[in-house]
């Protein structure tokens, strides 16, 4: 009983969350917005950017509807599952059910889904790519010694091999853990005299390294993958390690996207 | 990580998210490490080390799971703050008592947090490094009266000497519980009905599988 109530709430929350995602100037619904722009410029005057914007807006609406559909579908499958097997109605069994459902559910779906996310996040991916090009010459040599975070990059890249959000999330978690392990080894190696207590890294160190790892991943699609994960991460994971890792990943990506504008240059020496 | 408790025969488990804010060198990392591991010198910490830490507590018979989220203090990551602190139940804002600048930063964060999250978030302003009291640049009176003016609590700590840290977290937990309980009362009989948003307070009754026979849920 409790379980069902919580789940329903999560959809309301999701809707609310998605509404917040809409960019501010176009608060109204899509029809209104469309008719507005139609009266504003007659069809012959519609320039390319105008059309692109309308297209993007339609795409966003479309994506929103699809995300909602997916949540409802998974919810229904879960309900059926719990209805059929009453013994599964405990917190941990429910998690297991959900995991198996999602595994099967997303398998045939993900590549199409991520294509849509990529269309919507096209500009962000472009920005990411720009930064990537800008920093492609930052070789391990430039930052001194060998690049110690290759394992983290590898872990992160594994994300593309999976089609289930939960599995993808695990890749991100492993990448972050790997960074922590590397950073610790690096410090122990290079600063054996380092102040006690500073050997464990906090977000001040983690985020710059993670940004660099994201750059080295050389894959703008990461932006869309993470945007999609944000929609499909389980509510229960939000404040846990998984939620923290995804949030950090999102922050690192946003930071990388901002790099090519020149406002925030990445000083190579702060990376390691 | 789900809020569902393990075993136990009665009561609730509170899950709280606490964000940790503070400039680079104020010692926030040492502070949480001290609290969660009490291993100031030990190099072996959890998987995400000092970035993300959890702690389980038992306060007046209630179980509390704390998730402590560290944030990057550097200015260049500042714009990314909101995605870290959304849905937080509490915030610990750390400054260095010997560094006036770091106290100003705290003030900025307070403004931002209040603007984004309103009054529901429990704020703690923490003057760290009181072991360096002789170099103090932020006066006790100023800090305390500022904290009071924004509805925050002020604490003095020393991660180095392990002073004031237990109290800080215990106090914060109690306040977050009070806030959560008040919220529950507002909503009626404590069923976590219609949470206003994706807030982190997840109160889960965990009577272990006492499913009454035939008492099947009305499916959605």
Closest chain A residue by Cα to residue B55 = A240
pTM score, whole prediction: 0.78
pLDDT score recorded for residue A142: 47
Mean pLDDT of chain A: 79
Cβ–Cβ gap B195/A13 under 8 Å:
yes
Chain B nearest CA to A270, separation (Å) = 11
* A236 vs B212, more confident: A236
* B46 vs B178, more confident: B178
Among A4, A95, A201, whose Cβ lies nearest the Cβ of B50? A201
Closest residue by Cα to residue A114 from A14, A226, A205? A226
Give yes or no for residue B59 having a pLDDT over 70.
yes
pLDDT tens for B31-50 read 988 888 655 444 444 568 78
CA atoms within 13 A on the CB side of A156: 31
pLDDT score recorded for residue A164: 94
Residue A108, token pair as written in the block:
């045939």
Chain B nearest CA to A140, separation (Å) = 23
pLDDT score recorded for residue A44: 58
Query: Region B58-80: what's the mean pLDDT?
Result: 89
Query: Region A136-160: what's the mean pLDDT?
Result: 72
Closest chain B residue by Cα to residue A93 = B209
Which helix (H) or strand (E) segment holds residue B54: the answer is strand B52-59
A chain contacts of residue B29, beta-carbon cutoff 8 Å: 197-198, 200-202, 204
Q: What is the DSSP string of B64-120?
A: EEEEEEE---SGGGGGGHHHHHTT-SEEEEEEETT-HHHHHHHHHHHHHHHHHHTTS
A chain contacts of residue B24, beta-carbon cutoff 8 Å: 204
pLDDT tens for A149-191 read 888 999 999 999 999 999 999 999 999 999 888 887 777 777 6
Q: What percent of chain B has pLDDT over 90?
A: 49
- Three-class secondary structure of residue B206 per DSSP: coil
pLDDT score recorded for residue A25: 41
Give yes or no for residue B82 having a pLDDT over 80.
yes
d(CA B181, CA B64): 13
Query: Region A247-266: what's the mean pLDDT?
Result: 82
Cβ–Cβ gap B50/A202 under 8 Å:
yes
Chain B nearest CA to A5, separation (Å) = 7
pLDDT tens for A70-126 read 999 999 999 999 999 888 888 889 888 999 999 999 999 999 999 999 999 999 999
Closest residue by Cα to residue B7 from A20, A92, A23, A123? A92
User: Best residue in A202, A211, A230 to probe B by mutation, most B CBs within 10 Å?
Assistant: A202
Closest chain B residue by Cα to residue A265 = B76
Cβ–Cβ gap B216/A86 under 8 Å:
yes
pLDDT score recorded for residue B187: 83
Q: How many residues in chain B?
A: 220
Cβ–Cβ gap A197/B30 under 8 Å:
yes
d(CA B63, CA A231): 29
Residue identified by tokens 């977050």 is B176
Among A200, A238, A258, whose Cβ lies nearest the Cβ of B45? A200
Give yes or no for residue A54 having a pLDDT over 50.
yes
Contacts (Cβ under 8 Å, ≥6 apart) of B57 = B63, B64, B65, B66, B170, B173
Q: What share of chain A is helix, strand, coil (3-state, %, to 5)?
A: 75, 0, 25
d(CA A241, CA A194): 27
Select, from the ranges A266-270, B182-186, B214-218, the one with the highest average predicted confidence (pLDDT).
B182-186
pLDDT band (50, 70, 90) for residue B71:
very high
| Mean pLDDT lowest among A73-77, A224-228, A236-240, B207-211 | B207-211
Cβ–Cβ gap B83/A247 under 8 Å:
yes
pLDDT band (50, 70, 90) for residue A199:
low
Residue A11, token pair as written in the block:
């959809």
* A212 vs A33, more confident: A212
Cβ–Cβ gap A245/B15 under 8 Å:
no
d(CA A215, CA A209): 10
CA B152 to the chain's CA centroid: 13
pLDDT band (50, 70, 90) for residue B190:
very low
Cβ–Cβ gap A5/B159 under 8 Å:
no
Inter-residue contact B68 to B53 (CB < 8 Å):
yes
Cβ–Cβ gap B211/A238 under 8 Å:
no
Give yes or no for residue B115 having a pLDDT over 70.
yes
Closest chain A residue by Cα to residue B88 = A239
pLDDT score recorded for residue B79: 80
pLDDT tens for A1-51 read 444 444 445 545 545 545 554 444 444 444 444 444 444 555 555 688 888
């Amino acid at each position: 009983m409790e379980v069902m109530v919580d789940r329903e709430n999560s959809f309301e929350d999701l809707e609310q969350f998605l509404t917040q995602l809409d960019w501010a100037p176009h608060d109204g619904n899509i029809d209104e917005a469309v008719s507005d722009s139609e009266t504003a410029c007659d069809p012959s005057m519609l320039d390319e950017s105008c059309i692109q914007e309308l297209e993007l807006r339609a795409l966003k609406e479309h994506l929103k509807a699809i995300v909602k559909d997916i949540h409802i579908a998974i919810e229904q499958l879960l309900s059926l599952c719990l209805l059929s097997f009453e013994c599964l109605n405990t917190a941990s069994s429910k998690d297991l059910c959900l995991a198996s459902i999602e595994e099967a559910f997303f398998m045939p779906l993900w590549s199409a889904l991520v294509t849509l996310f990529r269309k919507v996040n096209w500009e962000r991916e472009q920005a990411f790519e720009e930064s990537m090009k800008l920093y492609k010459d930052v070789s391990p040599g430039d930052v001194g010694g060998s690049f110690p975070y290759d394992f983290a990059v590898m872990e992160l890249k594994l994300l593309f091999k999976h089609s289930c959000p939960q599995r993808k999330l695990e890749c991100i978690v492993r990448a972050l853990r790997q960074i922590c392990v590397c950073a610790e080894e690096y410090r122990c190696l290079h600063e054996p005299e380092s102040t006690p207590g500073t050997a464990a890294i906090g977000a001040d160190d983690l985020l710059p390294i993670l940004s660099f790892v994201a750059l080295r991943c050389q894959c703008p699609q990461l932006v869309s993958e993470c945007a999609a994960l944000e929609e499909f991460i389980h509510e229960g994971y939000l404040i846990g390690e998984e939620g923290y890792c995804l949030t950090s990943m999102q922050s690192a990506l946003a930071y990388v996207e901002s790099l090519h504008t020149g406002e925030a240059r990445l000083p190579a020496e702060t990376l390691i | 990580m789900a809020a569902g408790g393990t075993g136990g025969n009665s009561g609730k488990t509170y899950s709280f998210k606490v964000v940790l804010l503070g400039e680079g060198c104020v010692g926030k990392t040492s502070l949480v490490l001290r609290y969660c591991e009490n291993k100031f010198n030990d190099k072996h910490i959890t998987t995400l080390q000092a970035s993300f830490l959890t702690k389980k507590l038992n306060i007046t018979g209630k179980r509390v799971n704390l998730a402590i989220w560290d944030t990057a203090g550097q200015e260049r990551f500042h714009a990314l703050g909101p995605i870290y602190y959304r849905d937080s139940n509490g915030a610990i804002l750390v400054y260095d008592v010997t560094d006036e600048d770091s106290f100003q930063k705290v003030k900025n964060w307070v403004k931002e947090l209040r603007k984004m999250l309103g009054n529901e978030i429990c704020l703690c302003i923490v003057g760290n490094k009181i072991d360096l009291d002789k170099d103090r640049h932020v006066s006790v009176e100023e800090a305390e009266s500022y904290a009071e003016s924004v509805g925050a609590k002020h604490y003095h700590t020393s991660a180095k000497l392990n002073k004031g840290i237990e109290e800080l977290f215990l106090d914060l937990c109690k306040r977050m519980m009070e806030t959560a309980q008040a919220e529950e009362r507002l909503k009626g009989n404590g069923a976590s009905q219609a949470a206003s948003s994706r807030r982190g307070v997840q109160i889960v009754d965990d009577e272990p599988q006492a499913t009454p026979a035939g008492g099947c849920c009305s499916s959605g």
